[in-house]
Structure 1
């Protein structure tokens, strides 16, 4: 397809990454967002997110990660600054799982380093951890944190400079992927192609995804550690706790961010129009899990409990496919979305340019 005009619905990371890929290929782009840009209720809006090469038994994702890191490197070059901080990933098991062995097999194939950590040294190296029941600890390279709000903000500024037209606070009522149009109130906006990247709202605009892509209300907590552990946390890696009773992921405080704790248990419930303020019910399991991961967790001071909405599929896969003659949809799955967004958005853009919409 010769460069023309593409309409993108959604200004979260997938929508902005798709716009970025399109602009690089000479397309005129208009982006429609139901709230401000960036939108604080979008799934993408966060202080920091984990990225990594180890993916357990999800080998297909692992094989994509070298390309995903390279796509972000290309984005940093365009933005003129990087929003990634490399960090080791410390993964520990409480009982046998197949996650570490599956991850290290993929990492060996990719040439990414990793090493076992002697369990007798864990408490000395990481005094914040509860080592009860810990059966294995592994340090993995090729990981770190992305800074979503900074990325979204810089992308919006960069794209506007490149001529992208933003329609903020503009809810889209309907999408016609056969005609390449979006309808806002009584106004129909036309383009040569339309991409729906509407996050947790995607099935409202692409009804065929209802039941396949399910909104899932998730919770994280931002906390301040006890003062005697502040120095240890300032130099801490990313932690994954693989345990039935714990099962947390934890991002240490970085400049401009707070200590964040979450889990990877999908609720598969909720309406994305709900408040993002975390409730007692949202964090009940998370507090119990964190109490198993960290010593004296009751001494950590809560700063904020926050809910967000992921979209979830049964097999945790992305939805990237053509819809109609002049439409595409891009919907991430859970927290995998942000780390792979630069790559997926660029692939969708490349498919539109080639006249063969990308299918994942």
Structure 2
């Protein structure tokens, strides 16, 4: 949708992947965008700033997001076309199930509906494909298509350059102290700024500026480990797909070293604690549960070396969905949940822009962004 709008100026607060994607979608509609961030742009303390992230169609119990993923991939394709470069590598994925639940039946049904390849692997196939795995306790292994790696640092950097070419005004090192969503104003230490509309996309800091999301979008300290595997296993890792190990006690996601990135392993359990102003070095307490889970899932873990233990802050909602709210006539806020924030950002931003520019009711877009609509919005 690219029609004219009566909204001429929009302030975006937060320059993570969502704020940058919003700025891109707005600028494509001819809107003058002013983007504010408390630090550099892109900001290395944002949860978006990372070496690689998973993109996938398989979505477990979250059927609504599985339905959104074809459009999410099309949104990335639209961004690649604008940037003139594709920061994505198709790797496929293998899910290793170490306990029985409804993930398999639900996911295979989703992928069949989407036309995405999916097949169960034999024990021999698992050993051949992933010699790094500990075979003990594997209940089932499933290979899926429609999965790969996004490269966030490259995406963010190229987006910043592209937004400058599109005329977006970038205001780095300008913390926003308060937002007036009724008047379309923000207050910074440099004064009061006003636009036709304001959108807050401030990640783990969002509830400080939008009281409606306090206690709803909860900051959650999460840890990931960058690792040097033993030299004898490096080639196996370099050819590996994305690997997700599912257990009752913990779930590990593993991103192989591709295109100049390092091996990364993290867990999906939400801490629901922490202050996003904390530093980004993972502590021993952050590392311990990941290492314990790795000891069960992989061979020879004691031969791996932790070379960069990182912490980041997601926002987490009770049902793991995006929240779009309109706390005032001229103000909006969008909060992601967990890793959805990156893989879905260009798509969700395009939907949020429809609400901001009054193409669609905010409530309708909010329902869609939460994955609750059977039919997606017509965006791509």
TM tier, smaller: over 0.9
> Which deviates more, 94-103 or 162-171?
94-103
Q: Is the 8 A contact 2:129 2:240 kept in 1?
A: no
The two structures have a TM-score, normalised by structure 1, of: 0.98
**For residue 243 of structure 1, what is the aligned residue in structure 2?**
247
**For residue 375 of structure 2, what is the aligned residue in structure 1?**
none
**Aligned equivalents of 1:245, 1:174: Cα separation in 2:** 40
1:254 aligns with 2:258: yes
Gaps of 5+ in 2: 370-380
**Aligned equivalents of 2:125, 2:91: Cα separation in 1:** 19
**Aligned equivalents of 2:192, 2:56: Cα separation in 1:** 41
**For residue 159 of structure 1, what is the aligned residue in structure 2?**
163
Q: How many residues align?
A: 360
- The offset of 1:302, in angstroms, is 1.1
1:63 aligns with 2:67: yes
1:185 aligns with 2:203: no
Could you give the per-residue CA deviations for residues 7-45 of structure 1, whole angstroms, max 9, x where no partner exists? 000000000001111001110000000000010100111
- The offset of 1:321, in angstroms, is 2.6
**For residue 85 of structure 1, what is the aligned residue in structure 2?**
89
Gaps of 5+ in 1: none
- The offset of 1:245, in angstroms, is 4.4
Q: Is the 8 A contact 2:177 2:186 kept in 1?
A: yes
**For residue 143 of structure 1, what is the aligned residue in structure 2?**
147
Could you give the per-residue CA deviations for residues 138-185 of structure 1, whole angstroms, max 9, x where no partner exists? 100001011111111111100011100010010001111111111112
**For residue 346 of structure 1, what is the aligned residue in structure 2?**
350
**For residue 175 of structure 2, what is the aligned residue in structure 1?**
171
Could you give the per-residue CA deviations for residues 47-102 of structure 1, whole angstroms, max 9, x where no partner exists? 00011011111101111101100001000000001111111110011121211221
**For residue 327 of structure 1, what is the aligned residue in structure 2?**
331
**Aligned equivalents of 1:246, 1:293: Cα separation in 2:** 10
1:103 aligns with 2:103: no
Within 5 Å, give how 1:26-37 maps onto structure 2.
26-37=30-41
- The offset of 1:330, in angstroms, is 0.8
**Aligned equivalents of 1:81, 1:347: Cα separation in 2:** 23
The two structures have a TM-score, normalised by structure 2, of: 0.93
- The offset of 1:301, in angstroms, is 1.3
Q: Is the 8 A contact 1:173 1:184 kept in 2?
A: yes
Q: Is the 8 A contact 1:246 1:290 kept in 2?
A: no
1:280 aligns with 2:301: no
**Aligned equivalents of 2:25, 2:323: Cα separation in 1:** 18
Could you give the per-residue CA deviations for residues 180-202 of structure 1, whole angstroms, max 9, x where no partner exists? 11111251111000000000000
- The offset of 1:107, in angstroms, is 0.7
CA-atom RMSD, angstroms?
1.1
1:210 aligns with 2:211: no
- The offset of 1:244, in angstroms, is 2.5
